Structure formats: structure tokens, C-alpha cells
Chains A and B, each alone.
Chain A
């Protein structure tokens, strides 16, 4: 159950996404890029599958997650409204969680139109429903991690560009980790594989939902949100 404060912050931020051009630009650009890859791939491969959606989205998210999130806290720092929030009877984690849920909501609305692909493709051939459901759950989980990490990036600076770049670097590292395993000593490799976002996603995208993967995503999100909360708490002491 969401606490009242989290709900108020969530609704306010979600509304301000949709009251400004941000939400529409994000959704539009995402759909244009994805649509281009999707249609061209579909006819080349001749298979009834949503694989393009599931393969391209984590990659696009490397840019989209920092872009959607960068404003959320850094802007409040810059304009001074964070001072209003901090001096209200709120807990820091309520601010972080409320904003995280809002940007997750925006991400959800960004993914929603891709269901059109499901409908159209299911006319041409039979789709593996399990893989589709798994794929979408996986996308939401990967997105959650990227967005939570980006929210941390937004909390550490009042400059949106810095927030974007820092978030991108962390998210990119998390994404790339399992692609550089061959260069690493085997003792490090298994750790890096575990930390890598994509490694867990590939399991889920096949339609296999393993608790180990779920635990990974949930703990990664929790940890990133925790770090964001600590950043907000720490500023009380620094000034």
C-alpha cells in the first residue's frame, strides 16, 4: 500500500510529465525508432515474434532512462523547490519512491503502445504467449533498474546534463558487463555476470521467470533507491 505522501508525489510528477512535452516526445521517439527496427526486421526474418521489441528496448533504455529521469531531482535542486520538499513533513525515501514510481509510470505508458505489435503479429502467425509475457515483465524489470539508477544520478547534481551523463555511464556499465566477460579473470567473471542487467534479462525474455533473477532486479532497484535516499539525507548535513 502506497503511503499518502508517496501517492501525492507520484501523481504530481506523473501529471507534470504529461502536462509538458516530455512524455509525448519520449513516447513518440521511442515508437519511431522501435517501429523502424521492428518492421524492417519482421519482414526480413519472416518470423512471428516480438524479439525486436525485447532486444531493442533495453538498448534504447540506455538513453531513454537517463533522459526521462534526469530532471526529476536535479531540477528541484536547481530551482530551490527541493528546499520546500525537504522542509515538509516527508521522509526522504517517500520523495525518492514517489518520483521513481512516476517515471516508471511514464515508462509503462511508453511500452503500452507496443502491444499493437502483439496484436498485428498475432494475426500473421502464432506467438509464444509465455515468451511475450516474460519479455514484457523483463522489460519492466530492466527499466526499473535503469530508472532507479538514473534517479540516483539525478539526485547527486543540480545540473541535468551531468545527471544524464553520470546515469548513462552507470547504466551503460551495468548493461555491458556481461559482454566483456571474456576479458576478465574467471573469479571476477561470475560476479560481473551476476551484476549485469542483460544477463538476467535474457533468462526472463525466454519466458523463464526464475526467482534468482527476480531477486537480482528487486535488490538492484532497492539498492539504487536507497542510495538516492542517502544522497538526499546527506545534504541536510552538508548544506
Chain B
């Protein structure tokens, strides 16, 4: 277990930023940490990186407690804070050297690590420039390079792609995916395609609480318990939606049939099951058996956007 968060609380005065959060991250996993703004993502990440102390609960990184063994934890973790703060008056190489020194990289290794990071993050042309002169995309790479300068086992990235253009996002995403092969990564974002592209698992947090935790496919399937299948069928004159639904409902596990639309005898309808059972084969055979012209049959995927919205929309508002 690489990171273990259990029953974590963080209070700021009267407001509870994080309320009883527990999750774990396995070694070599890329975890997407999702949630609307102000949900407690940054607070949680700041606790894992020892910037803040928990009000209650424990966080262990590689078995070490963030409050009692904070010094060790800080050696293990590479952290890219939200907004990517940098010393704008330093040039790229000086900054990387400073980061390496403070991170405790051995003096003889510093040059080599700097060179590696410049190569990995594609900073070759910019390495002698002041950070203040760089574009946002390059600054983000500098931030990443500095976070990884000591080759940490664990990378905590707080919105690493915010404010970048689509090309830059794709580049950073590839970078993270490559890194994720050997490192444990927690990545916070509210850009959902990014999670779908890079993460093995997501934790969704809302108002300081975890509302979902699991692989993306599981979440997509599991949200409603069952599955939803959409069909488009050409019916003979004699049949109506009513007679159709009688036939369809004979298939066990099917709970409901609902009409989506009908044009010139082509019926579009959806079928819902109560359990995650695949009924597509049965539906196909039914159509063949009845002599219906099957034009379309697909399983409806709940998109991550839908899940996200469903779980995080503020009910009280």
C-alpha cells in the first residue's frame, strides 16, 4: 500500500473542509482525484504532502505517518501544488538545482538528474531562460521537472493541466502516463476526459466527503445498479409498442421498457435491467425470432460527466 488515508478530517475554524475521508492508493497506480472546486481536493493533497496537518485521522505514505514522520514523507513525495508556484526570477537550471539540493539529492547526482529532467520534460531550449519569461505550458513542465527531480516514488499533482491549451494538455498527459508506469501518482483535476485518458482509478469527492471510489468502468456501470440498452427496431405493421414490450419483458432480468421515439414504423426504445446482466444476446435472438428488423442495439455508457454531475450536484441548492 503506497498511500493510506483513514478517517481524515480537516477543520478550518467552523468549516469542515474534509470530513471522514478514507481511501488507499496502491503502488504503481494513477489515481484521479475528482471533485468540484472547493470540495476538499487540495486540502487532502496538502495533508498528504505535509503542508497541512490533519485535524483528526491518519495518513500514511509508504507506511510512514505524515504527522509523526513528516520528514521522511517529504523525502518520498514529489509535489506540484495548485497554481504551480515558481520563483520567476530564477532561471530554469538554477531552479532545478535548488529544488534538487533542498530535496536532498546527492551532490554528485544533481547534474545528472537535472539533465534527465530537462530531457524528460522537454525543457532543452528553455533551460537558460528565466522562469518568468516562459509560457504557461513550459512553466508547468518546469514545475513537474522540479517535483520529480529526486525521482520520488510518489507524485502528487494538483491540477497539473489547468490553464493549458489542448496540445499542452495532451503533452502533459502523456508525460504523466509514462511516469505512472513506475510511480504512484495522485492527480487532481476537474477535467474529466483527462481522468478517462490517464487514470486507473478515480475517487470523487464532494463537500469534503468521498462519494465514489473505483475503476472508471465500474463507476460507469455501477451507478444505476443495472444496465441500459437502447434498440432501434423495424416492426411489421401488425405490431405496436405495447405488443413489443410484452415480448421483451418475457426475458428475465429485464425490468422496464420505455419508448424513446417512433418514426415510420421504426421504434426506438430502451431497456433497463435491475442487475448488471448482459441481455443483448437475448434481445438479438428475440428480434430474429419475431422477425423484427434490428437496426441498432447498444449498451448505454454513463459518461464520467454524468456520474460526476449526479454525485456532486448540490442537492440543497
Binding site for B on A (CB under 8 A): 4-5, 8-9, 12, 15-16, 19-20, 79-81, 83-91, 236-239
Q: Quote the shortest CB–CB distance from B157 to chain A (angstroms).
A: 13
The 10 closest A-B pairs by CB, nearest first: A80-B85, A89-B74, A8-B101, A88-B102, A81-B85, A87-B49, A89-B75, A83-B81, A87-B79, A239-B52
Q: Which among A9, A84, A90 is the interface contact of B85 at CB below 8 angstroms?
A: A84
Contact in complex: B89, A16 (CB < 8 Å): yes
Interface size grouping (class) on chain B: 20 to 34
Assess the A8–B81 pair: CB atoms within 8 A: no
Is B12 a contact partner of A81 (Cβ separation < 8 A)? no
Is B103 close to A, CB under 8 A?
yes
CA distance A5 to B74 in the complex (A): 14
Is B104's CB under 8 angstroms from A89's CB? yes
Partner of B102, one of A20, A79, A83, A90: A90
For window 71-111 of B, CB contacts with A under 8 Å fall at 71-72, 74-75, 77, 79, 81-83, 85-90, 94, 98-99, 101-104
Residues of B within 8 A of A83 (CB): 46, 51, 81, 85
Query: A residues within 8 A CB of B81?
Result: 80, 83-84, 87
Closest chain-A Cβ to B62's Cβ sits at a distance in Å of 14
CB pair A79–B85 under 8 Å, yes or no, is yes
Whether B89 contacts A80 by the Cβ 8 Å rule is no
Would you call B52 and A236 a contact (CB within 8 A)?
yes
Q: For the complex, give the distance between the alpha carbons of A85 and B103 in Å.
A: 10
Name the interface residues of B50-78: CB closer than 8 Å to any CB of A.
Answer: 50-53, 71-72, 74-75, 77
A239 to B45 Cα, complex, angstroms: 12
- B71 engages A236 (CB within 8 Å): no
Bound together, the chains give a CA A79 to CA B49 distance in angstroms of 18
Q: List 13 A-B contacts (CB under 8 A).
A: A8-B98, A9-B102, A16-B89, A80-B83, A83-B46, A83-B85, A84-B81, A84-B85, A86-B51, A89-B103, A90-B102, A237-B53, A239-B10
Of the candidates A12, A87, A90, A239, which one forms a contact with B77 in the assembled complex, judged by CB atoms under 8 Å apart?
Answer: A87
B residues within 8 A CB of A237? 52-53
Q: For B146, what are the chain A residues with a Cβ–Cβ distance below 8 Å? A: 84
- For residue A83, which residue of chain B has the nearest CB? B81
- Given A12-B98, A83-B85, A84-B85, 8 additional A-B pairs, CB 8 A: A16-B90, A79-B86, A80-B82, A81-B85, A87-B74, A87-B77, A87-B81, A88-B102
Query: Are the CB atoms of A4 and B101 closer together than 8 Å?
Result: yes
Alpha-carbon distance A155/B263, docked complex (angstroms): 72
- CB contacts (< 8 Å) of A89 on chain B: these are 71-72, 74-75, 102-104
Q: Does B44 sit within 8 A of A, measured CB to CB?
A: no
When distances are taken between beta carbons in the complex, the residues of chain B under 8 Å from A12 are: 90, 98
Name the CB-closest residue of A to B75. Answer: A89
Interface-central residue, A5, A12, A239, by most chain B CB under 10 Å: A239
Determine whether the beta carbon of A88 is less than 8 Å from that of B74: yes
Q: Out of B53, B79, B89, name the residue touching A19 (CB < 8 Å).
A: B89
- Compute how far the CA of A4 lies from the CA of B53 in the bound complex, rounded to whole angstroms: 26
**Contact present for B102 and A8 (CB under 8 Å):** yes
Indicate if B140 sits at the interface (CB-CB under 8 A): no
Give the chain A neighbours of B85 by CB distance below 8 A. Answer: 79-81, 83-84
Q: Which of A5, A16, A88 has the most chain B CB atoms closer than 10 A to its own CB? A: A88
Determine the residue in chain A with the shortest Cβ distance to B85. A80
Nearest Cβ in chain A — how far from B53, in angstroms? 5
B89 neighbours in A (Cβ, 8 Å): 16, 19-20
Q: Give chain B nearest CB distance to A138 CB in angstroms.
A: 34
Tell me whether B43 is interfacial, beta carbon within 8 Å: yes
Contact flags B121-142 to A (C-beta < 8 A → 1, else 0):
0000000000000000000000
Per the bound structure, the CA–CA distance linking A84 and B75 in Å amounts to 13
What is the bound-complex CA distance between A236 and B53, given in angstroms?
6
